[in-house]
Structure 1
Amino acid sequence: MKGILYGVGVGPGDPELMTLKAVRMIRENEVIAAAGAQVEDTVAYQIAVQAVPELADKELLPVYMPMTHDRRELEENHAKGAKRILSYLEQGKNVVFLTLGDPVVYSTFTYLQKRVEDQGYETAFVSGITSFCAAAARLNLPLVEWNEPLHVIPGVHRLDGRLDQPGTYVVMKSGRKMDQVKQLLQASGREVCMVENCGMANERVYRSLEEIPEDAGYYSLIIAREEG
């Protein structure tokens, strides 16, 4: 029997927002992986262990996945990570890979998924609450109403564009380029709110573009709505 690789979303930060299925998957499987040099140091682990204390006694599999734009370095580390995971799957052991939010949204898990499937192994997703849904709830506002579209974009990769489509924009991955992202938002003329570290102990909420600091952290999520 071959093992299965599961990408399990642990939600945005509040352990109470983890799904029952995510909790069950962690409890029922012995090998738990996460993207980092040490699993215990990852945000995903620190969220999950609060809801599932027995996670601390599991076999932890770190998968180093650096935050870089160097395609060669990314490819090398994705290949190494997939190889480590395959060594467990070949033994018939399932591997639960913890991801922030939902594993189908800008998740490092997908890079491993493709490589593992190419080797003939099964993978599966376990959905979690997305950061933008949790942030909207924290701000106590709807993301979209009636027939409005929703646009989810990685801000750091869209600095040369415009937020000119109707509906609401969710801007993710903005922390490192916040000064440029703020210029993009200013030009859009939209009403802007942001939640930094949503659901975590160091959460901060900003109700206007002017309040948002240019040194905001990596886990900063912006919601930009049309005025009125």
Structure 2
Amino acid sequence: MAILYGIGVGPGDPELLTIKAVRTIEKCDVIVAPAAADGGISIALETAKEYIKEGTEVITKHFPMGGSERMQKVGEIYTLIESKLKEGKNVVFLTIGDPYVYSTYIHLLTYIEDHGFNVQTVPGITSFCAAASIVNRTLVVGDEPLLIIPGSRVEDIKDEKYVVIMKMYKHEENIIRVLEEKGFDYVYVSRAGREGQNILKDKEKILQERDYMSLILASKE
């Protein structure tokens, strides 16, 4: 039976793909990669393209961020992948970062498994782990917990000392306000490991940056 492989390609640096991810990409028949817009660039595909063998079928599809359009488009993509699996072709679905961290792959996985197909997942390096290495910053230590939270839920931060804030686009003002009120030291990283990477600690510069592919690492004594 054909297999759907969900592959995390990491934060965007081609050298951060795992050996297992590369070997799986090389042996598959079809590559499916999400893009932020119709006809737009797929960051996941750009990251993995040097490992895709000539002759492999490559399909780039727009994944809307929300609304009724999203459900329609995602349904079309699921149907497409299902058709390729029924043809006996092994399919790779590429996703930036790790497949199980804020990924559209999670919904795809449920759909494909519910329809009786075999699914295997290959983990990828998360953006916040890559960012911590880039800025030489401890994510968590000792017996402390690490809170990973989307920007829309920043008000939920309580007594944690170590926090990762993801999906922060359009929530920058409130995020910075909450972090400063709670006494956090923080660093902003956008496009970790990719062209255009930016590291900022100044509040005003962060508010001017507003990059969709961004996160904040925060900690306090």
Note whether the superposition's TM-score is higher than 0.5: yes
Equivalent of residue 57 in structure 2, options 52, 59, 65: 59
Does residue 34 (structure 1) correspond to residue 11 (structure 2)? The answer is no
Give the superposition deviation at 1:210.
Answer: 4.9
State how far apart, in whole Å, the 2-side matches of 1:224 and 1:40 are.
32
SS in 2 for 1:213: helix
Give the superposition deviation at 1:38.
Answer: 6.4
Equivalent of residue 196 in structure 2, options 195, 199, 202: 202
Partner in structure 1 of residue 135 of structure 2: 139
Q: Is the 8 A contact 1:175 1:220 kept in 2?
A: yes
SS in 2 for 1:166: coil
Give the superposition deviation at 1:74.
Answer: 2.9
TM-score (norm 2): 0.92
Name the CA shift for 1:105/1:77 in 2 (closer, same or farther; >3 Å): same
State how far apart, in whole Å, the 1-side matches of 2:144 and 2:92 are.
36
TM-score (norm 1): 0.89
Partner in structure 1 of residue 121 of structure 2: 125
Partner in structure 2 of residue 218 of structure 1: 212
Letter paired with 1:200: R
Partner in structure 1 of residue 99 of structure 2: 103
Name the CA shift for 1:40/1:215 in 2 (closer, same or farther; >3 Å): closer
Does residue 16 (structure 1) correspond to residue 10 (structure 2)? The answer is no
Partner in structure 2 of residue 158 of structure 1: 153
Q: Deviations for 1:3-33, whole angstroms, at most 9, x for unmatched residues?
A: 1111101110111111111111111112000
Q: Is the 8 A contact 1:7 1:126 kept in 2?
A: yes
Equivalent of residue 178 in structure 1, options 167, 172, 176: 172
State how far apart, in whole Å, the 2-side matches of 1:111 and 1:74 are.
12
Name the CA shift for 1:202/1:57 in 2 (closer, same or farther; >3 Å): farther
Partner in structure 1 of residue 44 of structure 2: 44
In structure 1, the gaps of 5 or more residues are: none
Give the superposition deviation at 1:171.
Answer: 0.4
Q: Deviations for 1:62-81, whole angstroms, at most 9, x for unmatched residues?
A: 3331012x2x3333222221
SS in 2 for 1:26: helix
**How many pairs are equivalent?**
220
Identical-residue share of aligned pairs (%):
39
Give the superposition deviation at 1:180.
Answer: 2.5
SS in 1 for 2:111: helix
State how far apart, in whole Å, the 2-side matches of 1:210 and 1:163 are.
22
Q: Deviations for 1:37-58, whole angstroms, at most 9, x for unmatched residues?
A: 66882001111124x2x45642
How much is the aligned-residue C-alpha RMSD, in angstroms?
Answer: 1.9
